[in-house]
Structure 1
Amino acid sequence: MKRIGIDVGGTNTDAVLIDGTRVLGSVKTPTTADVMAGVRQAIRDLGAAAPLEGIDAVMIGTTHFTNAVVERARLERVAAIRIALPAARSLPPTVDWPDDLRAAVDPLSVMVAGGHEYDGRELVPLDRAAIRDAASRIRDAGITSVGITALFSPLTAACEEEAADLVRAVIPGARITLSHTLGRIGLLERENVTLLNAALQSLGLRTVAAFEEALAASGIAAPFFLTQNDGTVVLAALAAANPVHSFASGPTNSMRGAAFLSGRDGAMVVDVGGTTSDVGSLVHGFPREANNVVSIGGVRTLFRMPDLLPMALGGGTIIDPATGAIGPRSVGYRITEKALVFGGDTLTATDIAVAAGRVEIGDRDRVRHLDPAFVAAMLARIAGTVEEGVDRMKTSGTATELVAVGGGAFLIPDRLEGVSEVVRVAHAGVANALGAAMAQISGEVDQIFADLSRDAALAEAQAMAERRAVEAGAEPASLKVIEVEDIPIAYLPGGARRVRARVVGDVRERGAVAV
């Protein structure tokens, strides 16, 4: 299949064209204030490098949704319905959110009776009248995006699903996010990600429509997908319903690209961008998943996210020539204006690398005045930062391979403490776009099963994951199981166990029929 992969980062927008595993062309362009204009420019530049004919699919990774949360912008007002009374009354929805983010979302919060105990028993009967009343209040307030969270809904989703039906009866056009479809055990964290998703859904719809227009204006008529946190893609129309699944897609794309380019499926990866670097670990060729709380814009969440360590180090990182302080500020996408080697007036990490002869970018004569001892000291501090990041992400004391990718990969030295080999790859600067272009489609289940034998529970979870992958656009014959695990839950009746199953498959070709 011929595919275009596009990754919209904070500093650069990268685009690649691949045919199977062959890279036909790649470009890197500065990200513009008007993101879609930058995407169109990247496609034009890619078309100049290789003919864009017979494109089967376009895969796009974007920071739109993460940026919206961080910037407290473009968020929709939401309603929060928590089904948990008489428990969980003392901590209302968004209680732990930063004040400015809560003000941006301005939630209308309602708590009603219902939910389940930790062992699956009904806590109290669902208060249907209270939900109908809440729906009327939400409708009268002009709110159309609703997040519903019930106590222990990952054990049984009955309360959330019935509440959604009741809300739709009052607000037919409501966009409803159910917490059990996103989060895990942990009421506040699951509710948090549910409400973030609800606040982003309208932006998701606008973003998908804008990408469609950008592709159409570029003369590309092919289905397009958005990349997700787990290193896979999903049809854009489906991704718009769950924008939180694209929060960390940028560094995840880079990790998948690193696996693709290096042939490694179990190494560490450092992705050095223009503003930040991310260190992560590959497991079976996919990013290791975080099993703890992940903070998004100051909000605690617990859902499917890669285990990454961000560092304030990138090609545009600002260095103070007087004190030698490195970062955390960066010139970002203005590096071609601000860095010394491009005629600017700001000393950056890229200038240090050029002065040291690690990379040929811009005009080296503009940094020849830098003291070699100062340059060496800065390189040593950069190396120390990377060594510390790798050490924090390792799960053992043995040395590990480290694949260096990203536009600023030249900042990574060839020798690092605790690293057996720094692996350099071709096309490292556009590994993120390559990761998007070659991504597969996944189906995942993380659910409690009871009254089934272990084998039956595992088989049922795998079958559910496969169905979800096919529904998302995967070719049934290509499905492959990459993860199955189960944990017996002694405090639940019926031999209950939590089962996680994940499968991946190739993108179904246009015209193919799912079976």
Structure 2
Amino acid sequence: MRLGIDVGRATTTAVLTDTAGEVLGEALADSAPTTTVSLRRVLARLGPPPGPVRAVAVVTDLARRPVVPRRVATLRISPDSHPALGPFVGWPRAARDAVAGPCRVVAGGSSVTGRPLAALDHRAVADFARRAHDEGVSAFAVCAAGAPAVPGPELTAAEIIAENVPDAAVSLSHEIGSPGLRERENATALNAALGDWAEELVQDCRRALRAAGIGAPLLFARDSGGLVSADYFRRHPVIATAPATACAARGAAARTGREQAVVVDAGAGPVRCVTVVDGEPLPHERPYPGALGVRIQLGAPDVVEVAEGAAPDELRAVLARLGERVPGAPVIRTGGRAEDATDDRVPEGRFDAARHAARADCRAEIEHIVSAAGRAELDHLLDAARDHALSLAIAAGAAPATARVRVLTHAPVAYLPAGVHRVTVQATGQPFTDEPS
């Protein structure tokens, strides 16, 4: 059996399914200020499961409770740039004041196609690490130009930092973001800043599950609606700060059997609207405000919020605009206040996010720029990208025997020389469980 739990601002829901995804039990409880108490309440309402629980998937948003981010030392490995393009430029003031620690730009990195720009300045990296340590900062964000294609400079910098700051927690941009340097750097700094939040959330969940006698592998929903293991989430929390609407939308689409829809997620707070195509929420096409309001590009759904208490005409206008993307598709309501957003009563919609989490797969996505002289070399690079995505899916919690490439696309980059392609790969797999083989 698998258990999905959606910890919302007002209510917490739990759904227990069998191995085929059939619902065995559902429960709802008022949320508490802490995740531990919220889980204990809903598990008590659910009651003892009829057999062993093999995996638990939790859905919760960063915004559900206040977060105190870490101060982060940010190292950029690239040629010098104008100060207007430096680290933390463009961040909301509150986020910058809370997160921005020592910053430095050192020589090194490569172009997007992998051409080396300069040798990494090892001494400058070591000096920076010691300076950060002297200022009491142990969380580091390392972002090198061209790192998705050539991660070597970031890996070397991480080794140097570890040698000089033994307790350092280092986030590397090639493990997190897209090819664009600034959004990738923003995401890496946020990832480093959210380490304490992720650690506390994992411990809170495990504490509540142990109290209920559940020792199954723990997973968390990422912003796209897929799952990642607790260990992966602890290392990469920035990918899982706002998964609730994606999970609710995918759950609502599955519940109604609609592959194309506009979904209205009416929970506590703003009403959130998203377009679903082929059962998946449409992602942002451009950088968007992510955690703490910082602009990133990590494939999260394009969600349009309508403020709580807004006039009905405002919601109707948003739905009409989103409906233009999927002409003729229905509007589906989900969330705890679904009945307040429409004349159609859909009380079961409040379980959509938890029901999806109980049935969801683990996912990993990569986006690379590659340069190939011909078709044979391109095929070799595509095979390498497939292998990389599959290894990430397994690292994210997928059982190796179930991992597969779900999506692979590549296209020439018009503004770069011939032979340069943008490659996107998504790999999925069923969560690894403690089910005996």
* Pair in the same fold by TM > 0.5: yes
Pair 1:203–1:95, CA change in 2 (3 A)? same
Q: Distance in 1 between matches of 2:366 and 2:96?
A: 31
RMSD of Structure 2 on Structure 1 (CA): 2.3
Q: Distance in 1 between matches of 2:265 and 2:414?
A: 41
Asked whether the equivalents of residues 153 and 179 of structure 1 are also in contact (C-alpha less than 8 Å), the reply is yes
| Matched positions, count | 432
1:197 aligned onto 2:163? no
Structure 1 residues 208-219: aligned runs within 5 Å: 208-219=202-213
1:440 CA drift (Å): 0.6
Q: Distance in 1 between matches of 2:177 and 2:404?
A: 24
**Equivalent position amino acid for 1:436 in 2:** A
1:270 aligned onto 2:264? yes
Asked whether the equivalents of residues 143 and 188 of structure 2 are also in contact (C-alpha less than 8 Å), the reply is yes
* Correspondence for 1:160 among 154, 162, 169: 154
1:406 CA drift (Å): 1.1
1:189 CA drift (Å): 2.0
* Structure 1 unaligned residues grouped into runs of 5+: 314-325, 328-380, 415-421
The secondary structure found in structure 2 opposite 1:240 is helix
Normalising by the residue count of structure 2, what TM-score does the alignment of the two structures yield? 0.91
**Equivalent position amino acid for 1:401 in 2:** P
1:90 CA drift (Å): 4.1
Of stretches 291-300 and 387-396 in structure 1, the one that deviates more from structure 2 is 387-396
Normalising by the residue count of structure 1, what TM-score does the alignment of the two structures yield? 0.78
Q: Deviating runs (4+, > 4 A) in structure 1?
A: 490-494
Q: Distance in 2 between matches of 1:160 and 1:462?
A: 22
**Equivalent position amino acid for 2:235 in 1:** A
* Correspondence for 2:228 among 234, 246, 260: 234
Cα deviations across residues 240-292 of structure 1 (Å, max 9, x unaligned)?
Answer: 11111112211111012112212222222111112222211223322222121
1:303 aligned onto 2:232? no
1:198 CA drift (Å): 0.3
1:435 CA drift (Å): 1.6
1:440 aligned onto 2:356? no
Asked whether the equivalents of residues 365 and 389 of structure 2 are also in contact (C-alpha less than 8 Å), the reply is yes
* Correspondence for 1:406 among 335, 339, 348: 335
Structure 1 residues 25-424: aligned runs within 5 Å: 25-47=25-47, 51=49, 53-63=51-61, 65-67=62-64, 71=66, 73-296=67-290, 297-313=292-308, 326-327=309-310, 381-382=311-312, 384-396=313-325, 398-413=327-342
Tell me which residue corresponds to 2:394: 470
The secondary structure found in structure 2 opposite 1:433 is helix
Q: Distance in 1 between matches of 2:391 and 2:326?
A: 40
The secondary structure found in structure 1 opposite 2:235 is coil
Percent identity over paired residues:
32
Asked whether the equivalents of residues 489 and 498 of structure 1 are also in contact (C-alpha less than 8 Å), the reply is yes
Pair 1:413–1:185, CA change in 2 (3 A)? same
**Equivalent position amino acid for 1:302 in 2:** Q
Higher Rg of the two aligned structures: 1
Q: Distance in 2 between matches of 1:388 and 1:269?
A: 14
The secondary structure found in structure 2 opposite 1:508 is coil
1:42 CA drift (Å): 0.9
1:11 aligned onto 2:6? no
The secondary structure found in structure 1 opposite 2:330 is strand
* Structure 2 unaligned residues grouped into runs of 5+: none
The secondary structure found in structure 2 opposite 1:306 is coil
Of stretches 216-225 and 104-113 in structure 1, the one that deviates more from structure 2 is 104-113
Bigger relative contact order, structure 1 or 2 (CA pairs below 8 A, ≥6 apart): 2
Q: Distance in 1 between matches of 2:82 and 2:293?
A: 22
